Amino acid sequence: MKNFSAVILAAGAGTRMKSSLPKVMHKLSGKPLIKWVIDSVSALKPDGIILVLGCGAEAVEKYLSESGVKIVYQKEQLGSGHALMQAEKVLKNYAGDVLVVSADVPLVKSSTLSSLAGNNKKTGASVTVLAAKVENPFGYGRIVRNGVFLEKIVEEKDAAPAEKRIKEINSGIYCFDKNLWKALSKVKTDNAKKECYITDTVAILKESGRKASLVMVKDNYEVRGINNKAELSQAESILKDRKIKELLSSGVSIVDADNVYISYDAKIGVDTVVYPGAFIDTGVSIGKNCIIKGASYISNSKIGDESVVLYSYIEGAVIDKKVKVGPFSHIREGSVLRENVRIGNFSETKKAIIAKNSKVNHLSYIGDALVGENVNIGAGTITCNYDGAKKRQTIIGSESFVGSNVNFVAPVKIGRGVLVAAGSTVTHNVESGKLVIARARQEVKRRKN
Ligand code: UD1
Ligand code: CA
């Protein structure tokens, strides 16, 4: 799909959100509203994407610094039509169509945008409006028809009582041909909000003899505008319900769908069971036949088949198959747990690669470490990885057995098959096959009193 450019309107103050964060930076299923819209638009590979920023521009710009969208500014928020005018200098000599999307309509699908973008050519229209028929049209611009044809759009605050009863609404998403700019220059501000409305271009184009057309969305949820936190929360529920339906129909078991949170982008394999309390955030993929139980939080992580997560917090980790995490483990950024590893009660790992069959079952901290295969780490073992200036590495060879309450003062390297006595504070490297005891010998003395 080509021959159009997209303009995303995101300069509005978003006052109805009652928040210090710019409206379009509010997150929906872990992803800012603006990114939802950019992603759906980008999927169509338009000739260009122009983003109109104003209120809170700095935060949005920072977030989008590497996205390749062109940013223009609307210094004063004089209305959606005025916002679109700011893109004129970039698109003045552009011959293709202009797809205009409000940044606060995050659920619109690429496929819908694609049929909208193709509609002017198909119908000979100068503008096509994406519209929906809804039960409660309150707050939206109404679609006023003349027979089957689109005549104009009337905003809620300007609508006559009969117009308020119209249930066809404007989604805030349009596709214009090059007559847009002239029509936009004719928009007046004689309305309830004294703003320059983009929606007035429809009547102006009609008056100048151009055709206006409509594309109706199939699913109304796609065009829900987010103007306040209630609408944001409703959109969140819509997304979650969609995701849960998709997962259930693909063979995932979700014991109590009302009591889990699963991000839109989660990938979960068949026969995995997600129990109440699970919070599966963005960037997670979970294999087949896994169990995710209790208040577990998982983000940006990959979990292999037949693994079990019990009441644990997992972020930025790679977990292979048949691994058991928890109850109450903290698996942090850069942890790699190979097949059949066990991380147990109150143990924490960070930037630790733990090879297969190894166990860290109780009360341990394993950070900046390489742990070989078949290693048993005793309860309360700590890798002392931070010397106050730098993080240092601990290496523990395969087949080693680490007794309880051992400190590894990094950097330190333990060979293969080493036995580390309980209570040792290991400060020097140990060769393979040795027994190391690094603790004060027990003395028993006579009591004085
Ligand atoms: C708008 C439409 C309405 C439609 C609804 C759909 C107008 C006049 N009305 O109403 O017909 O049913 O969206 O959700 O457009 N913006 C700017 N600069 C401004 C004002 C707005 O960039 O000065 C941007 C906003 O950031 C937002 C979009 O334009 O992305 C729409 O503005 P908003 O104030 O949310 O309009 P609605 O009242 O929702
Ligand atoms: Ca809006």
pLDDT tens-digit map of 73-114: 999 999 999 999 999 999 999 999 999 999 999 999 999 999
pLDDT mean over 141-168: 96
Report helix, strand or coil for 63. Answer: helix
Instruction: Cite the annotated binding site by residue number.
Output: 9-12, 23, 74, 104, 141, 155, 170, 227, 332, 350, 365, 376, 379, 385-386, 404, 422, 439
Question: For atom 25 of ligand 1, which residue has the closest CA?
Answer: 12
186-206 tens-digit pLDDT: 999 999 999 999 999 999 999
Name the pLDDT band for 335 (thresholds 50, 70, 90).
Answer: very high
Give yes or no: residues 173 and 249 share one domain: no
Cβ atoms within 10 Å, residue 26: 18
Beta-bridge partner residues of 142: 154, 169
Q: How many CA atoms lie within 13 A of 253 on its CB side?
A: 11
- Domain-terminating residue out of 172, 199, 223: 223
| Residue length of the chain | 449
Per the structure block, which two tokens stand in for 348? 């924490």
Give yes or no: residues 336 and 399 share one domain: yes
Per the structure block, which two tokens stand in for 83? 């916002």
Counting ligands in written order, which one lies closest to the CA of residue 140? 1
Q: Does residue 242 fall inside a structural domain? A: yes
Give yes or no: residues 152 and 213 share one domain: yes
pLDDT for res 148? 84
Instruction: Cite the annotated binding site for Mg(2+) by residue number.
Output: 104, 227
CA of 392 to the centre of ligand 2 (A): 51
Nearest to 329 by CA among 360, 304, 306, 355: 360
The letter for the amino acid at 68 is G
- Non-local CB neighbours of 388 within 8 Å, separated by 6+ positions: none
Give yes or no: residues 318 and 413 share one domain: yes
pLDDT mean over 296-319: 98
Q: Does residue 448 fall inside a structural domain? A: no
Main-chain dihedrals φ then ψ at residue 28, nearest 5 degrees: -120, 120
377-428 tens-digit pLDDT: 999 999 999 999 999 999 999 999 999 999 999 999 999 999 999 999 999 9
- Given 3-state DSSP classes, what are the helix, strand and coil percentages for the chain, each rounded to the nearest 5? 20, 30, 45
State yes or no: pLDDT of 1 exceeds 60.
no
- Domain-terminating residue out of 193, 223, 253: 223
State yes or no: pLDDT of 2 exceeds 60.
no
CA of 172 to the centre of ligand 1 (A): 7
Residue list, ligand 1 pocket, CB within 6 Å: 9-12, 52, 54, 74, 77-80, 82-83, 102-105, 140-141, 153, 155, 169-172, 197-199, 225, 227
Burial class (CB in 10 A: 0-12, 13-18, 19+), 237: exposed
Question: For atom 37 of ligand 1, which residue has the closest CA?
Answer: 140
Q: Look-up: residue for tokens 């990885």? A: 385
Question: For atom 14 of ligand 1, which residue has the closest CA?
Answer: 225
243-282 tens-digit pLDDT: 999 999 999 999 999 999 999 999 999 999 999 999 999 9
Which atom in ligand 1 lies closest to the alpha carbon of residue 12? 26
CA of 328 to the centre of ligand 2 (A): 43
Question: For atom 29 of ligand 1, which residue has the closest CA?
Answer: 80
pLDDT mean over 175-180: 96
pLDDT for res 147? 85
CA of 68 to the centre of ligand 2 (A): 25
- Domain-terminating residue out of 223, 255, 278: 223
Beta-bridge partner residues of 272: none
Spatial contact of 26 and 19, defined as CB atoms under 8 Å apart = yes
What CATH number has the domain bearing residue 385? 2.160.10.10
Question: For atom 8 of ligand 1, which residue has the closest CA?
Answer: 197
State yes or no: pLDDT of 59 exceeds 80.
yes
Beta-bridge partner residues of 216: 131
Considering its fold, how many domains does the chain have in total? 2
CA dist., res. 378 & res. 360, Å (int): 7
By annotation, the residues acting in catalysis are 362
Give yes or no: residues 209 and 237 share one domain: no
Q: Pairing state of beta strands 407-409 and 394-396?
A: unpaired
CA dist., res. 174 & res. 102, Å (int): 9
314-332 tens-digit pLDDT: 999 999 999 999 999 999 9
ω before 327 within 30° of 0 (cis)? yes
Global pTM value: 0.88
- The whole domain housing 69 covers 4-223
Beta-bridge partner residues of 376: 359, 401
Spatial contact of 400 and 377, defined as CB atoms under 8 Å apart = no
CA of 104 to the centre of ligand 1 (A): 8
Q: Look-up: residue for tokens 């078991």? A: 253
Name the pLDDT band for 67 (thresholds 50, 70, 90).
Answer: confident
Give yes or no: residues 390 and 350 share one domain: yes
State yes or no: pLDDT of 13 exceeds 90.
no
Ligand 1 mutation target, pool 8, 51, 52, 80, most atoms within 8 A of CB: 80
What CATH number has the domain bearing residue 143? 3.90.550.10
Report helix, strand or coil for 182. Answer: helix
Spatial contact of 262 and 296, defined as CB atoms under 8 Å apart = no
**Given phi > 0 = left and psi -120 to 50 = alpha, else beta, which region is 441?**
beta
